[in-house]
Structure 1
């Protein structure tokens, strides 16, 4: 039976971490598997660690003296654990009682070439005009300009289940196979925030792994609690990492389109007085990706030599 490590990355999340851990304790208790919970604290200055020890005294706590971002925090958590399955849950999410059992079962059923399973994430406090909750994610997709996006975002939660396979997993609620990570590598800490799950999904796909979707593994998420959807932090990392990941992995046409769309966006923001606030982080993100371009082009050449997919199979991973 697969052993399970649940990894929760936290940064100054005392307002939400307790609810997350309480839900995970219930889910772990209901699971038939051996489950260990690990909290990775990214140099918080609030009382997150004290709260975690009080709410979940059996959980392991791994402390970083600095904020490693989500990517670095998850990488540290994975390196600090030994379970055959690693379950990732955001600190601003709560899980349904059977979440752990169902998402790990979906990983197990998928066989050794199932590298990851993504859960069914619902937006907390978001409903349509008839009171039906809205979906946050049923996995991740990559569009024709290299833009990563949540499949099913803002769809009604009572819609028919999405297809059981998807391009990539959402790091806010997922199960990963450790043996697959041993082959393709851990999360890339240099990405810090955003697109780290898309980048790892690309590596899993390039090595012939698939990514499943468990409709019945449900998580409720307070979206962008830590960074905010329109904050300079979000804009910088979202801009930079979209270009970095497209340069490394996407078909050439998609990579070119990603860079072209970034330049067009900057031009539009520069000529629109209302966009001046956003221009700075977009420009810094684009410049950051430009500085990393030699590294990422070298990574692209290396990946082309080691991938198990044909060019046509890589192109087929892009959602139109």
Structure 2
């Protein structure tokens, strides 16, 4: 029997947290499962909900909002389990998730992470359920994207177990792998934190696999809004940061040039009254923040290039077209 800690990061999520924690507490498994709740200084009834729903949970109170990346890392540091499962506070485990994910993880000592099948909780108007993610891919311009995003679930096409990276909303992580590559980077705050960890796992020689039968239901974008200034800024910044640290140089060049061009075009459009000034400001802010981060990120790149057990050809093969 393997010890498994399910880490849930929460910030003012009282309206969804109960369902999430209940799905873990009631989850049947052959393994020893515990809840680790990380609360990022919520000001709602989240802690009361947790006390009622999961009274035996380990509760980590961060005292401030560390974002998803910092919150997850705080949860990992509070855990001593052999396997750490990450679950969004607006998601619920489907029966069998832990056993399927951990089973795939333990199939090979070389596997560092197993990413699950994340499905949107709300059905489409015609009753079809859509896929949120079956893992993460990296494009030739440095974009991280959810594989199979919005593809109908159960359309007869089963995704390959081979995928570049893990989706942080539904994944089982081997403790030894986390210790080996250093866990999550709190400085990323939101977005691309799972892509960052995936790159480090890959470069260190750990495999990342997809398990089709490990299923989670997710209320997408409950905590943050797609297209909001925070979303735009963090995506613009962290895409550049993560690409600079690990990606092949042509990918880095395309990521930076595309972001610079986008920032300029948005600024011009906003000045002419043809675009949203908030979006233009958010992209520019993200770009400037990535520029300020360059010395650190280039140092990280040199360190990981020196350590990597994956050659240049193998690294290029990880990029999706």
**TM-score (norm. length: structure 1):** 0.97
> 1:49, 1:227 → 2: CA distance?
20
CA distance in 1, matches of 2:284, 2:15: 33
The CA distance in 2 between the partners of 1:267 and 1:66, in whole Å, is: 34
- Could you say which residue in structure 2 is the equivalent of 1:228? 225
Q: 1:138, 1:152 within 8 Å by CA — same for their partners in 2?
A: yes
Equivalents in 2 of 1:9, 1:315: separation in Å?
33
Output one character per residue of 1:153-203: Cα deviation in whole Å (capped at 9) or x when no partner. Answer: 010101221001210000000000000111111100000000000000000
- Paired position in structure 2 for 1:152: 148
For 1:119 and 1:57, locate their aligned partners in 2 and report how far apart those are by CA, in whole Å. Answer: 27
Q: Secondary structure at the match of 1:133?
A: coil
Displacement of 1:8 in angstroms is: 0.3
Asked if 1:251 corresponds to 2:248, the answer is yes
Distance (Å, rounded) in 2 between the aligned partners of 1:63 and 1:130: 42
CA distance in 2, matches of 1:97, 1:131: 21
Take 2:11 and 2:224, find their aligned partners in 1: how far apart are those partners?
A: 10
Residue 309 (structure 1) aligns with? 310
What is the DSSP-based 3-state SS (H/G/I as helix, E as strand, rest coil) of the residue aligned with 1:88? Answer: strand
Quote the residue 2:127 is aligned against: 131
Q: Whole-Å Cα distance in 1 between the matches of residues 169 and 263 of structure 2?
A: 30
1-side partners of 2:26 and 2:230: how far apart? 34
- Note the alpha carbon deviations across 1:129-169, whole angstroms, 9 max, x for none: 63211100000000000000000001010122100121000
TM-score, reference length from structure 2: 0.97
Q: How large is the RMSD of aligned CA atoms in angstroms?
A: 1.0
Alpha-carbon distance in structure 2 between the residues aligned to 1:17 and 1:158: 28
Pairwise CA distance, 1:266: 1.0
Deviation, 1:317, is 0.6
Question: In structure 1, what is the equivalent of residue 286 of structure 2?
Answer: 285
Give the whole-Å Cα distance in 2 for the aligned partners of 1:198 and 1:212: 14
Give the 3-state SS of the residue equivalent to 1:291 in structure 2.
Answer: helix
1:251-298 deviation digits (Å, cap 9, x = unpaired)? 000001000010111122123222323101111001000000011011
User: Which residue number corresponds to residue 42 of structure 1?
Assistant: 40
C-alpha distance in 2, partners of 1:277/1:124? 30
2:65 aligns with: 67
Other structure's SS at 1:274 match? coil
Matches for 1:120-269 after TM superposition, within 5 Å: 120-127=117-124, 130-159=126-155, 160-269=157-266
Structure 2 residue runs of 5 or longer lacking an equivalent are none
Q: Separation in 1 of the partners of 2:9 and 2:92?
A: 14
What's the CA shift for 1:124? 2.1
Deviation at 1:302, TM superposition (A): 1.1
Aligned residue in 1 for 2:91: 93
- Structure 2: how far apart are the matches of 1:276 and 1:269? 8
Deviation at 1:47, TM superposition (A): 1.0
Q: More deviation in 272-281 or 83-92? A: 272-281
The aligned counterpart of 1:9 is 9
CA contact (8 A) 1:6 1:88 kept: yes
Distance in 1 between residues matched to 2:4 and 2:223, nearest whole Å: 26
Contact 1:40 1:73 in 2 (8 A): yes
* Deviation (angstroms), 1:210: 0.9
Structure 1 stretches (4+) deviating beyond 3 angstroms? none
- Other structure's SS at 1:36 match: strand
Equivalent position SS for 1:301:
helix
Q: Distance in 1 between matches of 2:106 and 2:51?
A: 31
